[in-house]
Structures are given as C-alpha cells and as structure tokens.
Structure 1
C-alpha cells in the first residue's frame, strides 16, 4: 500500500480551502464607549455590550470597536448576526468569576452531550457572519471559581450521560447551579461564517473556543496562555469547513480536540466533523491534535500540516475512541510536523480509558496517512496503534517518520494493512562495520 499520492492529497485539501471564507465583515461601526462602557476595570460593561449588540442588529450589522482599556463584564456577551467584535490592542475583556452572572441557562453542550447549562462567556446561537478580531485580550478570569469545580462535577457529568443514553429531551436536560458543569469561554452553536483572529486568550472556565454544529470558519493568529483545568484551545464538534492556522498554543489541555458527539446524541445527530485543516501552528500543552474521544457521529477529512512546537506536549497526534462510541475516524493526513520531547509521538487507540469493552459500538479507524513527521524524543513510544478484534485499525501508512530516541519504536495490536517506509524510530543505524578476525565466532573456541 503506497502513501496517498501528494497531488491527490493537495487537490483534496485545496478543494476544501476554496469553500472556507469565514465571516463577511460589516462596513458600519459602533464605538463601545458610546454605549456607556468604561475601560477602568471597575464599571460593569455588560449593559453597554448588550446595547451595542441590539443596535448592531437594528442596523443589519456593525463592527463594535473596543479601544484600549480593561472592561469588566458581569455576565456573558451574546452575539447577534453580522457583527464583528474588534478588540483593539490594549483592550481586555475581563469576565466576572461569579457563576450567578451566567444564568439563566442556555442551549449548549457539555463533553459531547446536548443540554442546558450556564451560558458560555461569549455565546452565539443560530447566527451568521460573526467575528472576533484584533490584538486585544479575552480573560475568563475563572481561576477562583469555575477552575475549582472539577472535583464536584461527577454528579452532573453522570446525569448528563444518563440522559444522553436514555435520549431524554433536551428541554428536560437542565443543569446550571448545583451541577458544577463549567461553561466554555467562547461558543458558537449552529452558526455559519465565523472568523476569530488575532486575539489573546487566557484563564478560561473550561474549553476556550467551542465550535458546535457550525461551518465555514477561520481561526487565525490566535495566541494562548490558558492553563486552567481543561483549557482546550479549539474544540470543533459536528463542525465542517474549518481552517485553523498560525496559532500559538499554550494550553492546560489539548491544543486542538476534534469531537463529534457522545454515544446516543452523536448517533442521532449523524453529522460528522469534517473538512478541517490545521496548519502552521505551534503546539504547547497536553496534546497537539486530538481526535475524539467524543466522536460518535464520525470524523473525516482532517489535514494537519507544517506544524511545529513551542514547548512540551505529552502526545503529538492522538486519536481515541472506544466501544461506547461507534462512529469513525477516517481520511486523516499528517504532513511535515515536528515535535521536541513527547511521551508518545503518534498514538491511535480504539480502547480509550478501557471504557465500553462490554459494548459493541465499535469504531472504524482507517485511511490514515502520515508523512514527514519527527520528534527528538518519545519517552514512551514513537508509534502506537491499538485496534479491537471486532474492528482492527486498517489502511495506515507511515513514511519518513523519524524519532531520535524512543522507549518503544512500534506497538501495533489488532491492525491490518499497515505500510511503513523510510522510518527511523529510536535512532539511526549507519553502515555496518566489516567483520574482523577477532569477531569470527568460529575462532573463539580455538
């Protein structure tokens, strides 16, 4: 089995790129200071942002300009269509850490299950042409409250999964106060034509950017220092036609985690995450790029290329599912990526967390093409493929994978049709030396 022809891969990628335009930018503008905002870090500016959004809607769209200053927000910003929120250099949106400000609950999702929960801090539902641009900062300021909730979330987490499996109506899945399910910093849900560009993101309550059931999106030149609990960088879920480029990640969890619903919700939604291009990024955090584990609607047509690292990642590329999930991971292309020291460079498992082994919702994992990737050290393993007896991982190609040092080079189980070409895992072996007389075993007993 040969590596997927480069020209075919490039043509497929470029066809997807031709469909991605991001948001149409509005021509008219509004100044947030005109609505009573004050960048002194003390005055509650939420009413001003609410008024500006309302006025922009009445105008058919506008650019809301936020100049330098610190703007306290006692509650979320709810977007309307055809709006660009422009955070100029020196501008900081600083959200209150008080959970009460993010009620009443809104339609959202939590770890792959649809439900109603605290509002994300920046939120849009069923909108089009929305954007966040500029060199300003979005500070979730969540360290004293939301970041402490993980130890208390088990009750709400388990209830949400039970409701998912029992297919309880979304209207009855009411969470919020008392359940400790942390909201996302930015979530656009069922939206089209989105651009997020240039901003600096820090101190998120949970995932930083959650792109849920949305399409035609550009995430570009974003910078992170987001190290609170589960501060994933970008989480596309049921999302298609997405370009992620020139991002400097520095996250307390996954840099990019491509998801597609958990279990019953994923199967019933039946909308894969697809046509996603990740390029020219610097990875730093728990994992570089992750597919899963919530992926029950399937993930396909993913391109990861020309990326490097800004620091440590536990795993470079990580694909994970288990027999609870079903769905598929297929048509994955990884090209020209470099890492420093990792635990595992490339890890694919159909047995994530050992969950669901008594179930029979096996995932299909296939058509993975890896070329020209490297790392300086993989302390655990360079390449791991873990399929299942019921559905082995199949049709995977590795070409020009180079790892200077590795605890284990290859670990394959339950796999079929695997191709390896020009790979050095754990170092390089040079030209063999010529045997001398003293090396001759037959002479040693004489």
Structure 2
C-alpha cells in the first residue's frame, strides 16, 4: 500500500485486545526483583594513591592498585575526584566495587591498541572470542557499579575509528568460526584483525549498577551487558558518535532496567541481542529476557532495536514513556533473517513520542535479505499510544515469510501525522489495528457534489 494519507480504523475483538494490554504487573515484578548492589564502607581516593588528574600522567597502575586494595578489603568504593585522568589501558573490575567518578572528573583512555592486550574473553557482534580488552571490563563479578556525575571518554574517534575500514577479514573469520563451531580457545583475534573493543563490558556478572555518568567517544559499542543479570542502568547520558556506537547492548541478559537515559549515539540507542547464528542457537537456555526500558530520551540511529543477532531468543521486553530529542532513522525496529533462527516474542511498547523518522515502526524477518534455513519466530508484539510527526519513508512495516508468518501483532492508538508510504504488511497473520491514523484523520464524508 503506497498512499500518502491513510486512515485505518479497525475494531479488534475484545478477547484478543485484552491480551495486548500493557502488563504493568509483570513489569512491576521484574523491577521489584532487580536490586542495586550494596558496597562495604571501605573507600579509596585515587589521588591518595598517587593519581594525577592532569590529562598527561598515566594512571593505569594507580587504578589497578585501587582495585587490588578493594579486593583485599572485600570490596569498597574507588573515588575519582575532579580532574582528567589519562589511563593507558583497561580498568578490570573485581567484585563488590563501586567506581565513583565525581562531578568534574573525566577518565580518558588511551587509543593505543597495544595497551588493551593481553586478549580477554569477550564477544564481537554475537560471537564469543578473544580480543582486545574492553576499556572497562568486568568478568565473573558480583556487586559492581560505575556511578557519579563524571565522564568516561573512550578516545574512539582516531585510531580506533580507522579500524572500521579494515575489519572485514576479521569479522568474516569470526563468523566462520561461529558457523564451524571452532573451539573457543582457538578464536584469537587482537592485533592484525582490527576488531574494535567495547567501551564498557560486563561478562558473566550479577548485580550491576551504572548510574549518572556520561559516556563519550567510544571505540565500538558503549555499554555491553553480556551474559549478565540483575542490572540497573539509570540517569546516564551519551555523546558518542563514532561507528557502531550503540548506547546499550543487552546480550544474553536477564532482568534489566534501563531508565531516565539521555541518548546521543552514532548507532542504536538500545539494541537487544542474544548471540548470532549457530552459536546463539546453541545457547537457547540463555535468551535475553525481562528487559524494561522507560522514561528515556532517544537520539541517534534507531531508538529501540531487537536483533539482528538474537539467535538464542528475545522475550519479555517492555518499552514505555520514551520520546525523541532529535532525528531517528527508525523508532522501534525488530530485525532478524533466515540465518538467525530463535524468536522474538512478548514485546510491549507504549507511550512513545517520535518526531521525524525514516520509518516509525518496523518489523522484518528478512533483514538484509540474507540467510537460509533458520527463519525466526516473531509473535506477540504490541504497540499502543504512539505518535510520530513525520515518516520520510514508511509509517508501519511488517515483513514475514510466506511459510513463516509474523503472528499476533496489535497496534492501538497510533498516530503518524505524515508518511510517504503508510503501511506495508506482508506475510503476517492476526494483525489487529484499533484507532490507527496515518496522514490526515478522516472527518465526516463530504456531500455529493452538484454538477
């Protein structure tokens, strides 16, 4: 359907409409069980250990010492006071530590790739492998936090940015290893492969808080929540506009609350993932699930994305009370293809205000037209109370396969004031629309004209 103005007004049956209501009780139960970590009373100020906030001195050894002291004491808070702290290499967390970056403080990482060796276990676009250490890295930790009003600067716009044009062979090798089930110990990348590290990554961690800090200039994804659970991200802000600067990437993540975040990213604001292809499908016991995103300001490429790496499955995602602070290419974007398998189900989105977008709501099972043999299941997707001022391309897009249809989509109280293409709906069943307006709302019909 390729009409500039379209009025859709369908009355859905009451039985199905009830199931599509936003499940507030379910959201409350998830939020109530996500507890923020509590830390021992011990505190260490990096200045007292010899740190210099002069933007020149290499504070790597000082921060390592602060972590070691906290480990010896059973945990505590590392205080980073006002100043610019150059660190030539990563910060590696231990359990029970709060890294508190105070107002006026900035941690500025080096951009020399050699500083992020030796290799650590990480993930790159949905495939587990060994690569450069993320700039802030926590593996197998419990009770950890990054807090305060300060800034984390990844210095990603120079050397790291140049890696993008050279990453193809390394990226393809990682995907071949995924498809061929290459043993993990043999998946070694780093120098010569040009796969950029994430800014902050939590791997196999529990009880995480990231609060109020500002994230700038990441080399790659900004905040990667990998195989972790019980996570609160709130009050943080971004200015990170390099290649692939996703804001928050929950991957194989469980029980996640993302709220009051101000995004300004060079890529997706929130991108929910769950592994890629063969490796992801082998991890079906670890879907990404129970993720609440609310009261956020979107700005960047896309607002909330699920996929395209989602092969272990994504379920129980709740997005509400968010708006845009600038242009988005797509507002809400669910994407997978026939290489992925897995499923996307039980997604509820309500009370979203979008300004100008390319596409407002987009669900596709044929992302990039790639793949074969592993079509994904997409079902039970519910949108309500969404407004958009202008869609430069499409208002609503739903794309399934003839032999694997997208099922059970509800759209209730959607108003897109202007769209080049109103609606594209193919290979889907049980698509129910109530009070959906694209273009000008129709009023009473005009009388027959007299000749």
Q: Same fold (TM over 0.5)?
A: yes
| Contact 1:304–1:333 (8 Å) recurs in 2 | yes
TM-score (norm 2): 0.95
Number of equivalenced pairs = 436
2:362 corresponds to 1:328: no
> Which residue of the partner structure matches residue 332 of structure 2?
317
State the Cα distance separating 1:427 from its structure 2 match: 2.1
Question: Partners of 2:21 and 2:319 in 1: how far apart?
Answer: 16
Question: What is the aligned counterpart of 1:125 among 131, 139, 161?
Answer: 139
State the Cα distance separating 1:230 from its structure 2 match: 0.7
| Contact 1:26–1:84 (8 Å) recurs in 2 | no
State the Cα distance separating 1:4 from its structure 2 match: 4.2
| Contact 1:24–1:193 (8 Å) recurs in 2 | no
TM-aligned CA distance change 1:157 to 1:8, over 3 Å: closer
TM-score (norm 1): 0.96
2:431 corresponds to 1:431: no
Question: Partners of 2:377 and 2:412 in 1: how far apart?
Answer: 22
Moved more, 196-205 or 7-16: 7-16
Q: State the secondary structure of the residue aligned to 1:437.
A: coil
> Which residue of the partner structure matches residue 292 of structure 2?
277
2:61 corresponds to 1:47: yes
> Which residue of the partner structure matches residue 38 of structure 2?
24
2:416 corresponds to 1:373: no
Question: Partners of 2:281 and 2:334 in 1: how far apart?
Answer: 19
| Match runs of 1:38-437 below 5 Å | 38-270=52-284, 271-356=286-371, 359-437=372-450
Tell me the C-alpha RMSD between the 2 structures. 1.0
TM-aligned CA distance change 1:436 to 1:155, over 3 Å: closer
State the Cα distance separating 1:5 from its structure 2 match: 4.9
| Contact 1:141–1:204 (8 Å) recurs in 2 | yes
> Which residue of the partner structure matches residue 441 of structure 1?
none
State the Cα distance separating 1:34 from its structure 2 match: 1.6
State the Cα distance separating 1:26 from its structure 2 match: 3.2
Question: Partners of 2:22 and 2:123 in 1: how far apart?
Answer: 36
Q: State the secondary structure of the residue aligned to 2:146.
A: strand
| Contact 2:251–2:288 (8 Å) recurs in 1 | yes
The runs of 5 or more residues in structure 1 that have no matched partner are 439-446
Question: Partners of 1:47 and 1:269 in 2: how far apart?
Answer: 37
State the Cα distance separating 1:22 from its structure 2 match: 2.6
The runs of 5 or more residues in structure 2 that have no matched partner are 1-12
State the Cα distance separating 1:262 from its structure 2 match: 0.2
| Contact 2:399–2:425 (8 Å) recurs in 1 | yes
State the Cα distance separating 1:6 from its structure 2 match: 7.2
> Which residue of the partner structure matches residue 4 of structure 2?
none
